[in-house]
Structures are given as C-alpha cells and as structure tokens.
Amino acid sequence: MQIDIPAHIEKLLFLHDTLTIPGFGSFTATKISATADYVGGTVSPPSKSLTFSENITTDDGILVNDVALTHGISAEEARQIVQNFVQDTQSKLDQREIVTLPAVGRLYKNYVQKIQFLPDTTNFSPESFGLPPLQFSPIARSREVEKTADVPPPAPAPGSTIRTNTTPPPPPATTVKTPPQTATPPAVATEPYVQSSARAGGAKWATALGIFLLLCALSGGYWLWQHQKAKLANANRQNNEQVEPLLPGAGKTNEAPKKTEQLVAVDEVPPTPEEENERKIQESIAERTQAAREEVKNAIPKGARECILIVATLREKANADRLEQMLSEEGFEVYSLQKNGYQVGIRFHYTQAKEVQEKIVTLQNLTGEKNIWIKKK
C-alpha cells in the first residue's frame, strides 16, 4: 500500500503545534502576529513559523494514529510504514540529496552532518489560512479653513445700551484743510535710529579692539621666537670660541694635541641637560607602556572562570578537523575530545554570565549549529 506520509504531515501541522516523526525529528509551529510593511505598503495576516529539530525523536503517537485511522489499518502496520518513510529519507539525506516535503519545506544535511530545514511559505494557522497580504497607501488630506461670513450685530432698541467687544469700524475718511505752518513732524521717530547707530558704533569698536589684541599677541610671539633663536646662536658661538685655542697653531703654546680624533666633531652641539632628561623620560615611558601592554595581553582577568562550549559531536575525524580549522582561523582557542565520537568546541575565560551567551550566539551564526551546549562553566 502506497501511503503519502508528507500529506499527513501537512494536514497534522494545521491541527497541532508540535508533530514528532518517530526516529527522525519533530516540527514545531510558533504563532506570529500580523505585521505591517510600511516601505512596501503591505499588511501580512497572522501566521505560524515552522522549525525542525532532530533532537526530539520520541513518538507522540499523532502521526501513527492518523495514518491508521485514515487508511483503516492497525497501529503496527502504520508504525512500520512510518519507519520505512524515515529510513528512505535518511538514506537520501546521507547521499547529499535534498528531500522536499510538499507545502512543508525542504530538508538537507550540512557539512557537519546536521539536518537543516528550509520552511515553505504555507500559513499553518487555521484562523488566517488563505488570507492574502493587503495593500495600503497613506491618505493625503488638505486642511481648508472655511471663512464664515461676517454677520452684522443687531440694531439696538430705542432707549437701550448694548456693550460689545468688537472694535467699531473706522470713520469715513474726510479731507481737512490745515494751514501748512501748524504741521509739525513727530519727534519720536528718530529714537530707534539713534539706538541702532549706537549699537553699530559699539560693534565696530569691539571688532577693532579684538583685531588690535590679536596683532599684539602675534607680535609678542614672533619677538619671543627671535629672542630664543638669538640666544641659542650665541651659546653655540661661545662653545666654538672655547674650543678654538685647542686647535694646532691657534694658541701660543708649543704643545700639540694628543688626540686629534676628538677635535673633528667640534661643530656638533652636545645636547643640553634638559634635552637629555627629556629623552630618558620618553624612553622610560615607552618601555613601561610596552611592558604594560604585554602584561594585559597575556594575563587572565582577576576572578575570571573557564568555560568550554561544545559546538558539535562528529562521527568522522575529517569533519572534526575541518571544524577545528574553521574555529582556529576565527581566533578561538579550540577544544577537542574523542568521546562517543569527536567533540569539537572552544575554551575561553569570562567574568560575566552574559559573555557565555554572546559566545553561543556568535558560534551559531558562524557554524549554523543551533544545539551548542556548555560542558564546563
């Protein structure tokens, strides 16, 4: 009897959040709420994210019972059919083939012989199955201010007084002829102009004072530099004058210099005591800095603890050697042990517990292994 096991797996994933294939692994469906893509302008309905783990192989009876009830066979016959499907799938995976489960996903083995799962786009949520993504676009609205017509106030009744907050309209313009000698210009209009002129004058004085101080500072610096230069030249000239009587024929003495080799380097100016002390201080600082760097690089932090993380346990030594080489090239201290296979991992020291989790996440992203366990902590 030919029974389509992948079709049963697809049907049961709509009804159960966890489905175990005996002797092979388990599928787990996690609910995901609706998401909105504001860049693409789409809203995705709620769905389930499907993952696979080969570490859980205990039979939960769901797949075997569904096969037995659907085809009217016994539980033993159904279990044998499922085992045949598992053996055929394992054989294909060992031959580096990709096993496709229609509407579920694809299975394959990586370089460390671990089963990897690529889920399909099927939405296994019964509440939102078949709902397509919705397209949306922002609505642009323009705000218009409507002007209300001015309503004239009611006319007051005879003998009554009405107080309103509105400003009375200006009286109609009338032409009044006045004699030219009585018109006088207002004196207040010149006040802002006087204030602005005073401010402008103060700003100009402040700018001029700043430029003057800057020129004084530059002149003082140039004079100080020339003074130091002349002082150094004078000291060199005095040293040369003190050495000149020692040269042959320069003085009245008849003695010849015993060592002429020492007179060759007369023009060289020896370093001053301040320069010699500065050079010694710089060399001492450089030596202490280098020694401190070496000590920090080689020393283990105080209170640090050793941790060993096992990335994978492999059956073949060639795969273990490749994994060790990859970890060594990434700068990790490799740990390996031959026990129930070849255990390959890393060894490091830490002071905080979060450093261990950061190492686990780094190794997962590097090797693709999700089941990294702690051997020593």
Which of these ranges, 26-40, 64-78, 291-305, 342-356, has the smallest mean pLDDT?
A: 291-305
| 300 is a domain residue | no
pTM of the entire predicted model:
0.36
- Residue 55, C-beta contacts closer than 8 angstroms, at least 6 positions apart: 25, 371
Q: Answer for the pair 3, 63: CB distance below 8 angstroms, yes or no.
A: no
Domain count for the chain, please give it.
2
Mean pLDDT of the chain: 77
- What is the domain range of residue 362? 305-376
**3-class SS letters over 150-198:** CCCCCCCCCCCCCCCCCCCCCCCCCCCCCCHHHCCCCCHHHHHHHHHHH
The conformation of residue 290, written as its DSSP 8-state character, comes to H
* E strand or H helix at 306: strand 305-314
Tell me the C-alpha distance between 377 and 181, whole Å. 106
The pLDDT score that the predictor gives to residue 140 is 65
- Tell me the CATH number at 330: 3.30.70.1070
**What is the mean predicted confidence (pLDDT) over 5-31?**
90
Tell me the C-alpha distance between 374 and 357, whole Å. 10
Task: Among 76, 107, 135, identify where a domain stops.
Answer: 135
Q: How do residues 247-270 score in pLDDT, each as one tens digit? A: 444 444 444 444 444 444 444 567
| 362 is a domain residue | yes
| 351 is a domain residue | yes
Nearest by Cα to 235 from 201, 269, 279, 280: 269
The pLDDT score that the predictor gives to residue 155 is 60
| 114 is a domain residue | yes
